Amino acid sequence: MKAIDLTRKPPGYVVAALVCSLGGFLFGMDTGIIGPVTVMEDFKRYVGTPSPTIHGLIVSSILIPAAISSFFAGRLADILGRSRSIATGAFIFGLGCALEAGAVHIGMFVVGRVVEGIGEGLYLGTLVVYTCEISPPRDRGRLTTAPQLLITVGLMTGFFTCYGTEKINSSFSWRLPFLLLAAYAFAFTAAAFFWLPPSPRWLSLHRRTDEAEKTWERLDVPAADREKILGQMDVSVVEGAALHNNQGSDTLSLTTSNNIEARRTAPESKKMQLLDVFSPDARPRLFLAVFLMGMQQLSGIDGVLYYAPLLFQQAGLDSNKATFLASGVSAIVIFTVTIPATLYADQWGRRITTVLGGLGMAATMFLMGGLYAGGAVDEGRGAGRWIVIVCIYLFAVIFSISWAICVKLYTAEIQPQRTRASATSMAHGSNWISNFLVALCTPALLANSSYGAYFLFGSCTLLTAIVAAVFMPETRGKSLDEIDMAFRARSPMQEWGKVKGMLSWKWRKMVLTDEVEMNHDQIA
């Protein structure tokens, strides 16, 4: 077996992707902080004990601003460039964290959450776009899913930070986590602005080909890989020009050199229009991405992460220290399983991972809901509560090795180059809106029904698994050009036509069978 040379310097694109992934740490740490903070005694003394609805509003106030800003993040990334857009969003995020840390009343705290959300929406989706655009196909899965690994690191850091500061006998117990998060955000802003090179694809689209060549060299991307990466960009932009000019299929048979020339002469307004995501070739992929990203949150994962202390209290753990520790342990478990999931992202199929992950999560949700509905967890006694606690961990594990890894990667890599930033941002907007609904409604659902939330999330997850089985073409190991061709060969409308045809055939068969049996009975 050949020894691994640990002294060998990694390629520039790997280092850039890892630095970019640090943005995921900010999101993860905020998610890990906000749930424990809102149940700390000092926080409740400071703002008053909130009702379930107010509790949900405090936590979810970050999400609608994030959804709104994410819809425009693609446009900002097309104008400023991917790396500068990331830096801008991270800086705004840091300002919001600072406002939360210095809040003198609940209104200022909520304003800080809103500002934080604006920044989060601007930079988070662009992380995946940037990494996708600088990575060769063989490494794209591992590098594009690296932000998810850093999210789990941030989640773990957030939970254990609160576990440590909960002992402080002042408002510093909940201010310190936000102060640390603000410091991390400003440090990441500096790294993104001064170190991350611009995306060579973005430079090429803006006709800065000399700079693009130098950036490819700085990223250490081999010439053969550059051709594979740029191939999809050339074809997609030429197709956009063809659609714009109503040209026929001959346009798509241009040679590579002609493709590049067409890219340079294609109308700039067409390439940069936000509404281009609704063009015939891009629209089905946008709708699939929006659906998958929205349903990723309706699985209930952020209900579990934001309100882990509440869930563990409901299951029978009665003290803040116990629930914070249980939440921290869940973060360790999530981080641990995300490592192999990230390393093997390019070995696991996106479609089968989504389907099996959805079925597994639905099973755990239905099991927990059934235990509560059947009274097996009454007052946190008996074996039922331990089954629920295990299921909470199991649900988080299944999500972390399936949907957390493949859904965000899939939604970015299936888009045509000219609409990737805008379409990915819109998909993230769908994710934020669903996240808002989950964060807002979970406390009220838990307060009014011990099992309703579990059955709701399980049903959404099961529905998504079925849709994925029908409509998702596999993309593992394929170049972006091959992904484009796969979507043309298997469009969602064609798949829906097959499903309708199959259902129609089965219905006709049932009707004919009933008629034959009825005629037989009449004769008899």
Q: Where are the domains of the chain?
A: 12-202+275-489
Tell me the range of 378-387, 397-406, 460-469 where mean pLDDT is highest.
Answer: 460-469
CA distance 148 to 13: 18
Per DSSP, the residues of 400-452 read HHTHHHHHHHHHHHTS-GGGHHHHHHHHHHHHHHHHHHHHHHHHHHHHH-SSH
- Report residue 491's pLDDT band, with 50, 70 and 90 as the boundaries: low
- CA distances 244 to 240, 241, 287, 377, 395, Å, are 6, 5, 21, 61, 46
Count of other CB atoms within 10 angstroms of residue 437? 17
Most confident option among 294-303, 307-316, 354-363, 381-390:
354-363
- State the residue for tokens 């979970």: 442
Among 44-53, 56-65, 426-435, 460-469, name the one with the lowest average pLDDT: 44-53
Could you read off the pLDDT of 428-476 as tens digits, one per residue?
888 888 888 888 888 888 888 878 889 999 999 999 999 999 888 887 7
Q: What share of the chain is helix, strand, coil (3-state, %, to 5)?
A: 80, 0, 20
Q: pLDDT class for 7, splitting at 50, 70, 90?
A: low
pTM value is: 0.69
**If pLDDT is split at 50, 70 and 90, which confidence band does 241 have?**
very low
Q: For 292-309, what is each residue's pLDDT tens digit? A: 999 998 998 878 877 877
Question: Is the model's pLDDT at 171 over the cut of 70?
Answer: yes
**Does 483 have pLDDT greater than 80?**
no
Mean pLDDT over residues 340-369, rounded? 88
Q: In 10 A of CB 231, how many CB atoms?
A: 18
At residue 463, the pLDDT reads 95
Q: What is the CA radius of gyration of the chain?
A: 25
- Tokens representing residue 489 in the block: 């060969």
- Range name among 75-79, 269-273, 442-446 with the lowest pLDDT average: 269-273
Residue 497: its pLDDT value, please?
A: 53
Give Cα separations from 296 to 390, 434, 472, 505 (angstroms). 21, 8, 15, 32
For 140-168, the three-class secondary structure string (H helix, E strand, C coil) is HHHHHCHHHHHHHHHHHHHHHHHHHHCCC
The CATH H-level (homologous superfamily) assignment of domain 12-202+275-489 is MFS general substrate transporter like domains (1.20.1250.20)
Task: Give the pLDDT score at 354.
Answer: 92
Check: CB of residue 35 under 8 Å from CB of residue 306. Answer: yes
pLDDT given at position 269: 43
